[in-house]
Structure 1
Amino acid sequence: MSDFSEQDLSGSSFQQVDLSGSTFRQVDMSGLDLREVNLSNTRVRAAYFDGVRMTGVEIPDLEIYGEVVRLLVNGVDVVPLVEAELNRRMPERALMSPTDVAGFRDAFATMDRLWGETMALARTLPTEKLHEQVDGEWSFIETLRHLGFAHACWVGGVVLAQPSPWHPLDLPWDEAPVLDGVPWARRIRPELHEVMAQRQQRRRTVAEVLDGLSEAALARPVTSATPFLTDATGLTAADCLRVVLSEEWEHRLYAERDLSALSR
């Protein structure tokens, strides 16, 4: 098995080559021209697709989970259809895109209630199960830790402009750069009550922000004070809080799915 690390293979041509079972990490694959390739059983995670066009493809079975803004299938943008169906199945989801202070308070209160139901299920499982990964995704504990990191970035680091809003249990995303002063304790195995204390601290911060937030402040531009999210300039406080709500919603769904699998 060959190992290609830190090499420039741009512009290479692969014809009648077997790359099955290969692993690609932190690889620039923009501008690829793929023809007559077999992508069966491919797993893609934390990838960025923009301007991708597929023609003459056969898709007997394809699953996509993520932030999809525009997706044309045979000339039809299916995103509005998917959004409407998801909101029909889960009416609370429509609350996760608020535009005023009252809407944000309602949305976060709704998330607290939903997470309360999820936590009730988590407490029925032994601690080792909460550290177990399903299908290579984060464990339940890691999910809570990452949500703490998301709160730190978007609320502490951007809305409140704190240069170092981190908690020792905060967990960045897998591909995040290692930066001085930012927690990167991936191998630790904290107890549930420890990550819950971290989470409660984050929620108190959000509550304090919302309590003192006016409609004008909600719409004001913000600037990141942390080494992450350096492109946050021009966003508003409302944009940042909506990102947190989106993270909370999506990760709770993943957590529910994984907890159900672990409890069988």
Structure 2
Amino acid sequence: MSPPDQPQVQVFVDADLSGARFVRSDLSGVVMRAVHVTGADIDAPWLLEGGNSLWVNGVDVAPYVDAELDRRFPGRSLRRATDPDGLRGAWAAVEAAWATTLDRVGTMPPGTVDVQVDGEWSFAQTLRHLVMATDTWLGRAVLGREQPYHPIGQPHAEYELDGYDASFFSRTEPSFDEVLEVRAGRVAMVRDFLAAATTEDLAVARRHPWAPEHSESTLACLHTILEEEWEHHRYAVRDLDTVGGTARD
């Protein structure tokens, strides 16, 4: 049995979990033996954090997944840059990737930006979330703005912001033109900050926006923004492929 202070380990033997869907679930340390996984789809954006691994038939596939994502999304590999020039290049790559995707969206049928695939955020909602991510990690954490958030931002359902009632954020869907305007402003905000950033700036400790009792360096905050950008770009492209009937590589 598991110790009293640990959750009871659940054991599934000869269980049929085909078609099951796990959302915001902790499956770390799960052991599967003699299982059928044909067509299984795992999305773990924190796969490589803290030396995490994913073992399949005795092989840690996490590094292969990361390398393949770098191949599919040119510029993604720059997201771990540690100096001002490298970060400026990393952000330029982010802007280029999104510009290409926005051009693609412009060629798709009207309403594409509001289509939700499997209950995930639509393309427009994804851009709104990135507005909030920038407001959180640059506006709030790094710049220390007293009121960093734009109401158009799309918050996570599971997060609560100190001092912000849920009604602060838009309850109705804004127009896509409005989303693009606010998003462009946030993209420029990161670009402008990086244009003047120095090595000393990157080392400054900032209050963690979700856990104020802890601190993060400016560099760590910028890395979080870059991770958010690339992960949500991946989600957006994945769902546009589904909407457009395009097969994955």
TM interval, shorter chain, is 0.7 to 0.9
2:227 matched to which residue of 1? 246
Q: Distance in 2 between matches of 1:183 and 1:222?
A: 25
C-alpha distance in 2, partners of 1:143/1:91? 20
C-alpha distance in 1, partners of 2:239/2:213? Answer: 32
Give distance in 2, aligned partners of 1:43 and 1:106.
Answer: 38
Q: Alignment RMSD, CA only?
A: 2.5
Q: Which residue of 1 aligns with 2:133?
A: 150
Separation in structure 1 between the aligned mates of residue 150 and residue 26 of structure 2, nearest angstrom? 28
Conserved 8 A contact 2:137-2:221: yes
Quick check: 1:171–1:183 contact (8 Å CA) kept in 2?
Answer: no
Whether the 8 Å CA contact 2:84–2:194 is kept in 1: the answer is yes
Pairing partner for 1:121 from 104, 125, 148: 104
Q: CA deviation at 1:179?
A: 5.4
| Alpha carbons 1:170, 1:183 under 8 Å: kept | no
Task: Quote the offset at 1:130 in angstroms.
Answer: 1.4
Equivalent position of 2:211 in the other structure: 230
- Alpha-carbon spacing, 1:42–1:137, altered in 2? closer, same or farther (3 Å): same
Q: Deviations over 1:219-244 (max 9, x none)?
A: 222113x5xx1168232111111111
| Residue from 194, 204, 208 that aligns with 2:192 | 208
Q: Which runs of 5+ in 2 are unaligned?
A: none
1:101 and 2:79 correspond = no
Q: Residue type of the partner of 1:114? A: A
- For the 8 Å contact 1:166–1:183, the answer to whether it is kept is no
Contact 1:157–1:163 (CA<8 Å) still a contact in 2? yes
| Structure 1 unmatched runs, 5+ | 1-10, 12-28
Instruction: Please tell me the residue identity of whatever aligns with 1:202.
Output: R
Q: CA deviation at 1:43?
A: 0.8
The 2-side partners of 1:209 and 1:33 are apart by 48
**Deviation of residue 177 (structure 1)?**
2.9
- Find out whether 1:87 has 2:70 as its counterpart: yes
Assess if the C-alpha contact under 8 Å between 2:84 and 2:198 holds in 1: yes
Contact 2:207/2:214 (<8 A) preserved = yes
- Over 3 Å counting, the alpha-carbon distance change for 1:130 and 1:113 in structure 2 is same
Shift of the 60–221 alpha-carbon distance from structure 1 to 2, 3 Å rule, reads: same
**Contact 1:167 1:183 (C-alpha < 8 Å) held by counterparts:** no
Which structure is higher in helix share?
Answer: 2
Partners of 1:106 and 1:232 in 2: how far apart?
32
Q: CA deviation at 1:168?
A: 1.1
**2:22 corresponds to:** 44
Q: Tell me the SS of whatever aligns to 1:106.
A: helix
* Distance in structure 2 (CA, Å) of the matches to 1:263 and 1:60: 26
Please state whether the residue corresponding to 2:136 is helix, strand or coil.
helix
- Any idea what the Cα deviations from partners look like across 1:20-65, whole Å, max 9, x if unmatched? xxxxxxxxx9543223133221111222344x23142403222211
Identity across aligned pairs (percent)? 33
Contact 1:169/1:183, CA 8 A, preserved across alignment: no
Partner of 2:243: 262
The two structures have a TM-score, normalised by structure 1, of 0.78
Change (3 A) 1:238 1:232: farther
Letter in 2 for 1:150: A
Mapped partners of 1:182, 1:112: distance in 2: 31
Does the 8 Å CA contact 1:152/1:165 hold for their aligned counterparts? yes
3-state SS, counterpart of residue 222 of structure 1? strand
Offset of residue 147 of structure 1 = 0.6
Task: State the TM-score, normalized to the length of structure 2.
Answer: 0.83
How far the C-alpha of 1:247 sits from its partner, in A, is 1.0
